[in-house]
Amino acid sequence: MKKFTSGICMFLLFGIAAFAQNGNTIYATMDAADAVSFKALYPEGITILASNEKQAAVLLSEEVTHSIHDNVKTHGPGYIFRASEALAMQALSREPRRNPQIDYSITEDVFVNECLDLVDGQNIEDDILELEAYGTRYHTRAEAEQAVLDQQSKWDAMILAAGRTDVSTRIFYHVNTPMPSVILTFEGANSPDEFVIIGGHIDSTAWPSNNNAPGADDNASGIASLNEMVRVLLEKNFVPNRSIEVMAFAAEEIGLVGSAEIAQEYANNGVDVAAYVQFDMTGYNGSSSDIYITTDWYNSNTLNTYLTQLMDHYNSNNTNPAHNFTYGFTECGYGCSDHASWADNGYDAAFPFEAAFGDDNPNIHSSGDVYSFFGDPDHSVKFAKLGLEFLIEAAKPQTLSVNDFSENAIRVFVKNKTLNYRLNNTVSNVNEVSVFNVAGQRIISEKVNTENGSLQLSQFAQGFYIVQFTLENGHAFTKKFILN
């Protein structure tokens, strides 16, 4: 049995005991081959309800939870908690992918690079230390709930400071854990019903007791990478075309409980989720490449390919070498984190991970999972950059129409081979002006500092040109003019 010696996830079983449906048994799904091997070892302790070529729906008895006690180390074949037999069975017969078809294009080069420049590892370090300081974020403990409420307050403060009314947060309360999750939403300006989602779990666990589970890498690091992305998007005043959601999940460590309830609700409501990306463990640099794309069967090949294209485009041969890093491929071998909940509900999901499976942080699920063990934020910075590339390119910036500007919001006139422009206060967030020739080549470009400005164009031939004003949020607004 694959990875059996490293044990099955006991905390999962202990954690769920309080919420078990039938006395001390739980329903779950797991790798079909693992289920068969467990059955051979514990014939009484596991009932295989059904299986397909990949997964089995099982009922696990308390006997199993005790019998496997000695084999427990940190994490293992794992299984996903299912709140009822029906849900366990349903998980075996998933609907085909339900994503809206989006074109995975890469078009926002200038804006994305400006965002990458703003990613600051110091913020990530601060956030990891702050989460570590809760001591334990095990899902039944008060500190776990507090960490979620504080996460919401932190986001709310950032949103307020940015003056955004189209960005909001909400708490999601769960059935199978007392710990809530928190969700931040950038409402899409053009396609608000299509969602691009990124998330990670904010709970932690430690073996053998949950009295000291700092969870710095697993998964304060992922949350810190997400926070830095949100900070940059707000600093750049980014308004997406599609809606973006950033999620901090409850109770991942006891079997993906928080994400399962959220993904299930989205699926029940027919929510269009274009793509889901998981950040779980971004801090520990344990392998020769930087980011490892997991290629487990339930992940989306299309989305994985897109992530590699983004890294090929933005993180190799970037003119700013600070943005370059490498990637590889690995497999968990089971539903090892919250992305499995989204895949389970038919959504395209991906999980870029900190190392090749097996080279990851050896201290997770112990009191030793502290920031000082890896000690710098550089690895998590790379995930924040990939996450920004993904969110901006998959959600795209708002598309403005002519109606978004009053007739004279931007006025241009040409005199003596000089282009003069006047911006009124409705477009005060313009930060760059460029002129393009009819071949689409940018022939001149300048920062915009004042409402009235001019560009000297005497070196250019007579003819048609296009002037483009780029707003702080990356959107470009264009007007045609004749140079004579």
Minimum separation from the CB atom of position 335 to ligand BES (A) = 6
Query: Interface with ligand BES includes 9 (CB under 6 A)?
Result: yes
Minimum separation from the CB atom of position 99 to ligand BES (A) = 23
Of 318, 284, 304, the closest CA to residue 116 belongs to: 318
Is 218 one of the catalytic residues?
Answer: yes
Q: Which of 255, 283, 333, 397 is in the footprint of ligand BES by CB under 6 A?
A: 255
Stretch that binds Zn ion, among 162-170, 245-253, 315-323, 456-464 (CB under 5 A): 245-253
Query: Interface with ligand BES includes 256 (CB under 6 A)?
Result: yes
Query: Interface with ligand BES includes 4 (CB under 6 A)?
Result: no
Of 228, 222, 196, the closest CA to residue 115 belongs to: 228
Q: Which of 3, 75, 137, 139 is in the footprint of ligand BES by CB under 6 A?
A: 75
Q: How far apart are CA 224 and CA 217, in angstroms?
A: 10
Amino acid letter, residue 153: S
Query: Interface with ligand BES includes 348 (CB under 6 A)?
Result: no
Of 408, 457, 415, the closest CA to residue 436 belongs to: 457
The three-state secondary structure class of 311 is helix
Strands, E assignment, 67-209: 80-82, 167-172, 181-186, 191-201
Instruction: Please check whether residue 361 is in contact with residue 217, taking contact to mean a CB–CB distance below 8 angstroms.
Output: yes
CA separation, residue 422 to residues 276, 358, 414, 428, 448 (Å): 42, 60, 12, 11, 11
77 vs 180 by CB, closer to ligand BES: 77
Q: Which of 125, 252, 344, 393 is in the footprint of ligand BES by CB under 6 A?
A: 252
Minimum separation from the CB atom of position 106 to ligand BES (A) = 28
How many residues at the interface with ligand BES, by CB under 6 A? Answer: 20
The three-state secondary structure class of 30 is strand
What are the residues whose beta carbons fall under 8 Å from the beta carbon of 10, sequence distance 6 or more?
65, 68, 69, 72, 207
Of 201, 251, 255, the closest CA to residue 226 belongs to: 201
201, 323, 339, 475: which is the annotated catalytic residue? 201
218 vs 389 by CB, closer to Zn ion: 218
Query: Interface with ligand BES includes 78 (CB under 6 A)?
Result: yes
Stretch that binds Zn ion, among 44-52, 100-108, 161-169, 213-221 (CB under 5 A): 213-221
Is 252 one of the catalytic residues?
Answer: yes
Query: Interface with ligand BES includes 392 (CB under 6 A)?
Result: no
Minimum separation from the CB atom of position 10 to ligand BES (A) = 10
Amino acid letter, residue 156: D
Q: How far apart are CA 364 and CA 352, in angstroms?
A: 17
Minimum separation from the CB atom of position 411 to ligand BES (A) = 55
114, 280, 338, 348: which is the annotated catalytic residue? 280
Query: Interface with ligand BES includes 34 (CB under 6 A)?
Result: no
Query: Interface with ligand BES includes 335 (CB under 6 A)?
Result: yes
CA separation, residue 434 to residues 7, 58, 115, 169, 425 (Å): 60, 62, 20, 37, 20
Taking CB under 6 A as the rule, which mask of x and - marks residues 201-220 in contact with ligand BES? -----------------xx-
Half-sphere exposure of 364 (CA within 13 A, CB side): 23
Q: Could you tell me the two tokens for 41? A: 């070892």
Stretch that binds ligand BES, among 182-190, 232-240, 334-342, 384-392 (CB under 6 A): 334-342
Is 365 one of the catalytic residues?
Answer: yes
114, 143, 145, 218: which is the annotated catalytic residue? 218
Stretch that binds Zn ion, among 64-72, 81-89, 179-187, 248-256 (CB under 5 A): 248-256
The three-state secondary structure class of 435 is strand
45 vs 352 by CB, closer to Zn ion: 352
Binding residues for Zn ion restricted to 83-142, rule: CB under 5 A: none
31 vs 253 by CB, closer to Zn ion: 253
Q: What is the pairing mode between strands 181-186 and 476-483?
A: unpaired
Instruction: Please check whether residue 74 is in contact with residue 6, taking contact to mean a CB–CB distance below 8 angstroms.
Output: yes
Q: Which of 218, 261, 348, 360 is in the footprint of Zn ion by CB under 5 A?
A: 218
What are the residues whose beta carbons fall under 8 Å from the beta carbon of 160, sequence distance 6 or more?
none
* DSSP annotation of 197: E
Half-sphere exposure of 288 (CA within 13 A, CB side): 0
Q: Which of 80, 159, 216, 435 is in the footprint of ligand BES by CB under 6 A?
A: 80
Q: How far apart are CA 115 and CA 392, in angstroms?
A: 10
Minimum separation from the CB atom of position 348 to ligand BES (A) = 20
31, 203, 252, 393: which is the annotated catalytic residue? 252
Query: Interface with ligand BES includes 357 (CB under 6 A)?
Result: yes
Q: Give catalytic residues, as residue numbers.
A: 201, 218, 252-253, 280, 365
Residues near ligand BES, by CB under 6 A: 9, 12, 75-76, 78, 80, 218-219, 252-253, 255-256, 280-281, 332, 335-337, 357, 360
